[in-house]
Amino acid sequence: MSRNDVILTVFAAILVLFSLAVSLWVPRRDPGFPGRSLRVFALIAVLLVAAMLAAVEVFGESHHFGEAQGGEEPGATVPTETGGGGGGGGEGDPAAGEQVFAANQCAACHTLQAAGATATIGPNLDETLQANDAAFIRESIVNPSAQIAEGFQDGLMPKDFGEKLSEEELANLVAFLAPASG
């Protein structure tokens, strides 16, 4: 359990305990509750709800999705320069990308002739990559759920896979896969 999870749990527990106390325990002690202290009660309730919402905004996990891409919005496509022939600046290394493919056990799910992979759990990359460019390949790795509309099944590609790779590993993997895209 992370530090943020503990903080959110504490805020939620305070809100829940307050709600239970003012609905179950306080009315038994004081049947006229909230009576003249309605404004104070309403202010405390609003402040607790606002504090909980602020805690979710500040400590919630959604702020971490874009960090792997340098702070961009979740799902944003980051263009990667790949190409067929040279080793110009910003391009990945296809040979190193083949090692990334092997080290991350991509062959356990995908068919890719260039890697000697024949698995059928995930999409056949020999067929899929022929119709798509480097940007699509990168997005499929970093944000696989965005590709569901393209006909892939949800839940097969680990959703956080792109976060496990460094920018260099990702560029190398895309450089390895991109030549198959034609």
CATH assignment at residue 138: 1.10.760.10
| Same domain flag for 49 and 128 | no
pLDDT digits (tens, 9 = 90+) for 132-148: 678 888 888 887 766 55
* Residues 109 and 176 reside in one and the same domain: yes
Contact indicator for 98, 108 with CB cutoff of 8 Å: no
Domain residues for the domain of 26 are: 3-65
Instruction: Mark whether 172 and 128 lie in a shared domain.
Output: yes
CA angle 84, 85, 91 (to 5 degrees): 75
Same domain, 48 and 109: no
For residue 71, tell me if it sits in a domain.
Answer: no
Q: Are residues 116 and 175 in the same domain?
A: yes
What is the model's pTM?
A: 0.47
In percent, the amount of the chain with pLDDT more than 90 equals 19
What pLDDT score was predicted for residue 178? 83
- Mean pLDDT in the chain? 76
Percent of the chain with pLDDT strictly greater than 70:
71
Q: Are residues 61 and 98 in the same domain?
A: no
Pick the more confident residue, 144 or 68.
144
Residues 45 and 99 in one domain: no
- Mean pLDDT, range 148-162, rounded to an integer: 59
- Cβ burial of 151 (10 Å; 0-12, 13-18, 19+) is exposed
Position 13 pLDDT exceeds 90? yes
CA angle 20, 26, 32 (to 5 degrees): 130
Number of domains in the chain: 2
Average pLDDT for 34-55: 92
pLDDT at 68 over 80: no
Distance CA 93, CA 170 (A): 10
Q: Tell me whether residue 104 is in a domain.
A: yes
| Domain shared by 52 and 104, yes or no | no
Q: What angle do CA 108, 96, 125 make, to 5 degrees?
A: 40
- Region 107-113 average pLDDT: 87
**Claim to verify: residue 98 and residue 22 sit in the same structural domain:** no
Angle at 104 between CA 103 and CA 105, to 5 degrees: 95
Q: Specify the pLDDT at position 106.
A: 87
Count Cβ neighbours within 10 Å for each residue of 50-81 and write b for 16 or more, e otherwise: eebeebeeebeeeeebeebbeeeebeeeeebe
100 and 51, same structural domain?
Answer: no
